[in-house]
Every structure is written in C-alpha cells, then in structure tokens.
Amino acid sequence: MGTSVIDRIETWALPECLVVKVTDRDGATGWGQTAALASEVTAVALDRLVIPRVLGRAADTRAVSEHVWNNAYKFRGSFLARALAGVDTALWDLAGKRAGAPVWALLGASAARDIPVYLSRRTRKTTPEEEIEGIRAEVAANGYTAVKVQVGWRLGGTVEGHEERTEQLIPALRAAFPQMRLSGDANGGYDPDAAIVTGRLMEAHDFYHFEEPCPFDDMIGTARVAKTLSMAVSGGEQDNDMGKFRVMARDGVVDILQCDLAYIGGLSRCLQATTIAQEAGLPLMPHCPTMSMLQIFTLHLLTSLPDHTEAHEWRGRLDRQPWAEEIYTPLPEVHGGVTRAPDGPGWGVELNHDLLERSPYKDYRL
C-alpha cells in the first residue's frame, strides 16, 4: 500500500449533521462527522471551503487540517471549523484502519480504559423536584456519581423556567444528593456580578465547577469570576481560535479548559488545545452533548489522556436525541458511572447504511 492520497469524498446530509466518507487511491476508507446543528450552512462551507482544498492531498490528518485552516484564513470561524471536523475525523478513521489500530492507539494509548462520566442535564424548564426525580432515575440506571445542571438563563435566550429556579435548585440538589459531585452550567447567561452571586451559592453547597458563567467572548468578565470564586470555573467549548485558548490558559481566565471536538475543527485541532492545557497545567474537560459519533471521537481522545482530564460529559438516557443514535452502532454505554472507547480499527464503529441511503448524497472526486 503506497502513500495515502485523498481521491474521493462523499457526504450524506442528516437532519442535524453531515456524515463524511473519505476514500484514498488504494481504496481505504474512513468515516467522520461534522458538528451538529445548522447543518445546511455547514454543508456550504464543506462544499466550498474544505473539500476543494483537500482532494488530491496526502491523507495526513494534521497536515490537512492545518492546510485548510491556513488557506481558508479569511473564513476562519465556526462554520469552517464545523465543516473541517467532518473531513478531519474521517481521515483519523482512515489512518486507524490503514494501521489496523484504534485511533486512541495512534494517539499513544496502550489500551482502552474506563472513562468516568458525569450526567449532563439539558433543561431549565424543570422544577427542583422534577430535576431531582430525573437525576435519581438516571443514577439508578447508570450509576452516575456526578451531575451537571443548567443554572441561570442561556446567553441570548429568555427565561425558560421560573425566576427563582436556580436559587431553589442549588440547595435542593445538595440536600437530595449529599455525596454527588454537583456542577452548574450557565451557558454564558450571567454578567460577572450575577455570576459571582450564583457561584457563591454553589460554593456554599459544595458544588464542583461552574461552566461558562459569562458570555464566552467576555474573557475579562470570566476571568474576574474565576479569580473571585474558590470553585473551579470552566470555559472554551464555543471556541476555535488557538490564540484565545492560549490567553485563557495563560491569564487565568478559566481553571478548567474546555473544547468541543467538532466546534474546534476536528481531532487534529482539539489536540492543539489539549497541548495548550497541558503546558499551562490545566485539566481538560471536552464538551460533548450529543450521542452522535462525536461522542466516540471524544472517547478516543480521552483514552489517550489518562492523567489530564476531568470526568466526561454524558447525555442522560431520558434526554436523548433519536437522530444522533441512528448514525452508528454500537452505541457506548455507561455502567457504574464509567464508559469506554471502542477498540476496533479506526473509530471502531459501523455506520447505519440504511439511514445513509435515505439521506441527500454528494460525491466529490478528482
């Protein structure tokens, strides 16, 4: 088998994302996925900004990622990153299959391992009593020992629940779950003063970390919150600019660095953020709120970082998205609060070809 050169790229447009298949001149293939949401816009970026810069190039994952990011520099931002993630993750799958090894092995891990996860609750519409009931059901089914709930109001949104929900929820959760590691996610909904007030309440009830207390582009405000509170503050999930990640790490903007593998542009660029976190001595906590293939990609990354990560975000079974679970098999499962990455070649999963056959299709060739 000679040098792997990208000869063909195929895409399938699903309701919330695109599935991407890369084939090299030797016939080896790899499967990837773009970020979820606004997939029709991502499809345009993939078609016009990414694929023309990829066909005919050597299938070197990191070199391809850097080439696209640098040569499309006038269009850097969310949708370039979302589209690039589809090709980048397909190339990592191809590399693993050519090597006959899981992606986590290509990243230096010697074996699959247990990955601790936390239950990520995805609503602000519940009462404290409803939230407690839902968490109890999830814990009984999967053994979670940590949970993150949504507090405050989402950035740019309106009030989703009653106005006193957060103030009532925080002490109620601690009373209901005295041994649980609890965290809160504001989705950027507070100004710094309000974030500090809510953070103090969480501290009084021994919460572990506070995610995105302020709008993600307000690094000054977020840094003020992080330096005022004793609890950990996390952020970075919305970002794709390595310069911003470096500033966040260097200047104490956050205590835990987050990134979303698809929002940042794929595994290759996520590894750059990981290096920034490691060099700054900050733990990494990837963002991954869906059970699509993005969950599989992130588990491979975490498997390769045994000493440098926080518990991993996991969407509960009572809050699943059917579209995400139809893309591939087998779905990873949580038992006793932990899960594992697959150990087959590449990503170690199989695509649902029946689903793909029913989806809008494009074929790009040299």
pLDDT digits (tens, 9 = 90+) for 234-260: 999 999 999 999 999 999 999 999 999
Structural domain includes residue 289: yes
Cβ atoms 86, 13 nearer than 8 A:
no
Question: Do 111 and 237 have their domain in common?
Answer: yes
Structural domain includes residue 214: yes
Burial class from Cβ neighbours inside 10 Å (0-12, 13-18, 19+) for residue 45 reads: buried
Question: Do 119 and 147 have their domain in common?
Answer: yes
How high is the pLDDT of residue 3? 72
Measured at the CA of 314, the angle between CA 96 and CA 282, to 5 degrees, comes to: 75
How high is the pLDDT of residue 346? 98
Structural domain includes residue 94: yes
Structural domain includes residue 345: no
Cβ atoms 195, 225 nearer than 8 A:
yes
Question: Do 279 and 218 have their domain in common?
Answer: yes
Q: Is the peptide bond before 330 cis (omega within 30 degrees of 0)?
A: yes
Domain of residue 43, residue span: 6-100+351-365
Question: Do 91 and 121 have their domain in common?
Answer: no
Number of domains in the chain: 2
Hey, what amino acid is at 8?
R
Nearest of 157, 162, 149, 161 to residue 189 by alpha carbon: 157
CATH code, domain with 223: 3.20.20.120
Give the largest Cα separation in the chain, rounded: 64
Question: Do 162 and 53 have their domain in common?
Answer: no
How high is the pLDDT of residue 314? 93
CATH code, domain with 10: 3.30.390.10
Structural domain includes residue 42: yes
Question: Do 40 and 62 have their domain in common?
Answer: yes
Residue 1 has pLDDT above 60, yes or no: no
Residue 151 has pLDDT above 60, yes or no: yes
Q: DSSP string covering 106-173, please?
A: HTT-SS---EEEEEE---S-S-HHHHHHHHHHHHHHH--SEEEEE-S--TT----S-TTHHHHHHHHH
Nearest of 249, 217, 222 to residue 233 by alpha carbon: 222
How would residue 163 be classed by pLDDT, with cut points 50, 70 and 90? confident
Q: DSSP string covering 333-363, please?
A: --BTTEE----SSBT--EE-HHHHHTS-EEE
What DSSP character marks residue 234? Answer: E
Enter the pTM of the model: 0.95
How high is the pLDDT of residue 2? 54
Question: Do 170 and 302 have their domain in common?
Answer: yes
Question: Do 300 and 357 have their domain in common?
Answer: no
Q: Write out the two tokens for 245.
A: 């990640």
Residue 359 has pLDDT above 90, yes or no: yes
* Neighbouring residues of 63: CB distance < 8 A, sequence distance ≥ 6: 57
- Residues 125 and 229: their CA atoms lie apart, in Å, by 27
pLDDT digits (tens, 9 = 90+) for 308-335: 778 899 988 777 788 899 999 999 999 9
Question: Do 95 and 237 have their domain in common?
Answer: no
Structural domain includes residue 211: yes
Question: Do 237 and 148 have their domain in common?
Answer: yes
How would residue 158 be classed by pLDDT, with cut points 50, 70 and 90? low
Phi-psi region of 252 (alpha: psi -120 to 50; beta: other; left: phi over 0): left
Burial class from Cβ neighbours inside 10 Å (0-12, 13-18, 19+) for residue 74 reads: exposed
Report the mean per-residue pLDDT for the chain: 94
Structural domain includes residue 306: yes
How high is the pLDDT of residue 316? 83
Hey, what amino acid is at 172?
A
Structural domain includes residue 194: yes
Q: DSSP string covering 159-213, please?
A: --S-TTHHHHHHHHHHHH-TTSEEEEE-TT---HHHHHHHHHHHHHTT--EEE--
Question: Do 312 and 294 have their domain in common?
Answer: yes
Hey, what amino acid is at 203?
E
Q: Select the more confidently predicted residue: 342 or 163.
A: 342
Question: Do 120 and 196 have their domain in common?
Answer: yes
